[in-house]
Copies of this chain bind each other. A is one copy, B any other.
Amino acid sequence: MKHFLNTQDWSRPDLDALLAQAAVFKREKLSGAMKGRAIALVFFNPSMRTRTSFEIGAFQLGGHAVVLQPGKDAWPIEFDLGTVMDGEAEEHIAEVARVLARYVDLIGVRAFPKFVDWAQDREDKVLRAFARYSTVPVINMETITHPCQELAHALALQEHFGTTDLRGKKFVLTWTYHPKPLNTAVANSALTIATRMGMDVTLLCPTPDYVLDERYLGWAQANVAESGGSFAISHDIESAYRGADVVYAKSWGALPYFGNWGPEKPIRDQYRHFIVDEAKMALTNDGVFSHCLPLRRNVKATDAVMDSPRCIAIHEAENRLHVQKAVMTALLR
């Protein structure tokens, strides 16, 4: 049984087929591909776009989405094996996943890191536990990666450049400031899909402490080896932006300070100037700007950048609907 946990688990032709199907759904929104079928959307963290786009997507395909929020309007869940469950959790993922899989045809899971211990969080335990026990396909709705966002972004770039072949484009993934130490999921994902599509990718971040986890650096290198693009890390804003075709921004906390965020805050506060603004965008090759949203205006990117016609973030957000319909349809086959 195939899950959709990471794009890296899927072959390039299969990813291309998802993107092609998404483009079809964008032109023709109603279909019976999910008639009478259902998806459970399990949210351990808040959501606006993901929840709305999955729920509407299922509806447009003739299906139905049930939204569950464990620990809020459902029971808190245990994920470890062999535990004597005398704490807060009222039930084990083994039962949750098995039972849900009897009711629905697909299970989507959003589970952000707990931000205490990266060694723990990087195991993606919640998502993997659902995939282990569920007897129906599981979809990653953002954990430590965000593969649905990857596809939405790739589709937006294909639309912008008018071609499915993104090779040769200069892609800058830039860190931006945010008052909180955010999840690296979308950064990991942007790096993964940009290298997968064969672009020339620069990861721009303030210092080596802000470089991403080695797993994703490894994926990037493997992708470059296979696809013929390139991958470099830079801490210099000007050279990174110069000639860029795509600027993708995301904020995240430095991994060496994971769970011990106090000392990282004053360091991070020194790099507010990583904000995406018109001066930086002027260095690019008439590049487009995007971001996964939600975005804090005038902190991560200026109003001028967000309101510019070169900002494709709204198109990318819309594409979540189309690519997720493609993912659900592919998994239900």
Residues of chain A at the chain B interface (Cβ within 8 Å): 29-30, 36, 38, 40, 43, 46-49, 51-53, 55-56, 59-60, 64, 66, 68-70, 72-75, 78, 81-86, 89-92, 94-96, 98-100, 102-104, 179, 293-299, 303, 306-307, 313-314, 317-318, 321
Q: A102 touching B46 by the CB < 8 A rule?
A: no
Q: B84 touching A60 by the CB < 8 A rule?
A: no
Q: A83 touching B298 by the CB < 8 A rule?
A: yes
Q: A51 touching B74 by the CB < 8 A rule?
A: yes
- In the complex, which of the residues B38, B78, B295, B318 contacts A91, with contact meaning CB atoms closer than 8 Å? B295
Tell me what chain A mostly uses at the interface: helix, strand, loop, or mixed: mixed
Q: How far is the CB of A70 from chain B (nearest CB, A)?
A: 7
Q: A99 touching B51 by the CB < 8 A rule?
A: no
Which chain B residues border A55 with CB–CB below 8 Å? 64, 66
Considering the chains assembled together, what is the distance between the CA atoms of A78 and B48 in angstroms?
Answer: 14
Considering the chains assembled together, what is the distance between the CA atoms of A299 and B36 in angstroms?
Answer: 38
Considering the chains assembled together, what is the distance between the CA atoms of A29 and B49 in angstroms?
Answer: 31
Q: B66 touching A73 by the CB < 8 A rule?
A: no
Considering the chains assembled together, what is the distance between the CA atoms of A78 and B294 in angstroms?
Answer: 11
Given contacts A56-B38, A294-B95, contact A46 B75 (CB under 8 A): yes
Please indicate which of the listed interface residues A48, A90, A94 has the most CB atoms of chain B within 10 Å of its own CB. A48
Which chain B residues border A38 with CB–CB below 8 Å? 56, 59-60
- In the complex, which of the residues B69, B91, B96 contacts A73, with contact meaning CB atoms closer than 8 Å? B69
Considering the chains assembled together, what is the distance between the CA atoms of A185 and B72 in angstroms?
Answer: 22
What are 20 sample pairs from A and B whose C-beta atoms fall under 8 A apart?
A36-B60, A38-B60, A46-B73, A52-B68, A52-B104, A55-B64, A56-B64, A56-B104, A69-B73, A78-B296, A84-B297, A85-B297, A85-B298, A85-B299, A86-B179, A91-B293, A92-B306, A95-B306, A99-B314, A102-B321
Which chain B residues border A74 with CB–CB below 8 Å? 46-48, 51
Please indicate which of the listed interface residues A52, A86, A98 has the most CB atoms of chain B within 10 Å of its own CB. A52
Q: Which residue of B lies closest to A321 (CB)?
A: B103
Given contacts A56-B103, A86-B299, A179-B86, contact A314 B48 (CB under 8 A): no
Q: Which residue of B lies closest to A317 (CB)?
A: B99
Q: Which residue of B lies closest to A135 (CB)?
A: B314
Considering the chains assembled together, what is the distance between the CA atoms of A236 and B314 in angstroms?
Answer: 56
Considering the chains assembled together, what is the distance between the CA atoms of A78 and B68 in angstroms?
Answer: 26
Q: How far is the CB of A109 from chain B (nearest CB, A)?
A: 14
Q: A82 touching B298 by the CB < 8 A rule?
A: yes
Given contacts A66-B52, A74-B51, contact A314 B95 (CB under 8 A): yes
Q: A66 touching B51 by the CB < 8 A rule?
A: yes
Q: How far is the CB of A24 from chain B (nearest CB, A)?
A: 16
Q: How far is the CB of A313 from chain B (nearest CB, A)?
A: 7
Q: How far is the CB of A248 from chain B (nearest CB, A)?
A: 16
Q: Which residue of B lies closest to A96 (CB)?
A: B48
Given contacts A56-B104, A318-B102, contact A82 B46 (CB under 8 A): no
